[in-house]
A and B are shown apart, each in its own frame.
Chain A
Amino acid sequence: DARVTQTPRHKVTEMGQEVTMRCQPILGHNTVFWYRQTMMQGLELLAYFRNRAPLDDSGMPKDRFSAEMPDATLATLKIQPSEPRDSAVYFCASGLVLERMGNIQYFGAGTRLSVL
């Protein structure tokens, strides 16, 4: 049963520490998305990659966030330094996005981040 795997599921850290979240997309999918979900803002797109190349990271605070895809089986989202306002659930999603076809995204279970 193919699924998107995210690690860790939960992370509690102190302000100023580096946080790394990992995502293993579904094999064969060409697009990976990072979202952040909070009660106030809902689900927000942070960045996404197509064939491992970053296409859009306009939703991401550039000074402290970075997203990479070192290979087709791993996407990472880093926050350095972390701040309390970064506390949220971070979701990774992957999909096979083709021209004139659908854009169905499959979500991981999320990483719940608490920055104290």
Chain B
Amino acid sequence: SQELEQSPQSLIVQEGKNLTINCTSSKTLYGLYWYKQKYGEGLIFLMMLQKGGEEKSHEKITAKLDEKKQQSSLHITASQPSHAGIYLCGADTGRRALTFGSGTRLQVQP
């Protein structure tokens, strides 16, 4: 079974709508990292969460960590076409390297 499950696998939303992406780990989390990838490019770091209950925001993107549930969510408010891409969560489960989820492909329709 996968160490890190992301849902949904893909998402199509209308511009201006809110959306949430989830990431669940089967192992204890020592850190949870969110990245964004555009086609043909590398991963761009978005946010790092280390403590249970931690919540961080950058522009219209908010990420939360529920340590007990070993789960994180990424919420985008008032989505824009520039938010389109693949969102990946990465987990540090004590190995000091990251294990990544399979990604969520987001399309934002104007």
Contact = CB atoms under 8 A, between A and B. Distances in A.
Interface of A: 4, 33, 42-43, 45, 48, 50, 55-56, 91, 93, 97, 102-110, 112
Contact of A104 (B33, B88, B103): B33
Contact of A91 (B42, B99, B103): B42
B42 A107 contact: yes
B95 A56 contact: yes
Interface residues of B, number: 23
Most central of B42, B45, B100 by chain A CB within 10 Å:
B42
Given A42-B101, A91-B43, 13 more contacts: A42-B102, A42-B103, A97-B96, A102-B50, A103-B48, A103-B98, A104-B48, A105-B33, A105-B45, A105-B98, A106-B45, A107-B42, A107-B43
25 contacts: A42-B101, A43-B100, A43-B103, A45-B97, A48-B97, A50-B96, A56-B95, A91-B42, A91-B43, A102-B48, A103-B33, A103-B48, A103-B96, A103-B97, A103-B98, A104-B33, A104-B45, A104-B48, A105-B90, A107-B42, A107-B43, A107-B44, A107-B45, A108-B42, A112-B40
A56 B99 CA distance: 13
Nearest to A91: B42
A80 to B, nearest CB: 24
Q: Is the interface of A mostly helix, strand, loop or mixed?
A: strand
A40 to B, nearest CB: 10
A108 B60 CA distance: 25
Contact of B41 (A4, A103, A109): A109
Nearest to B45: A104
Nearest to A59: B97
B92 A103 contact: yes
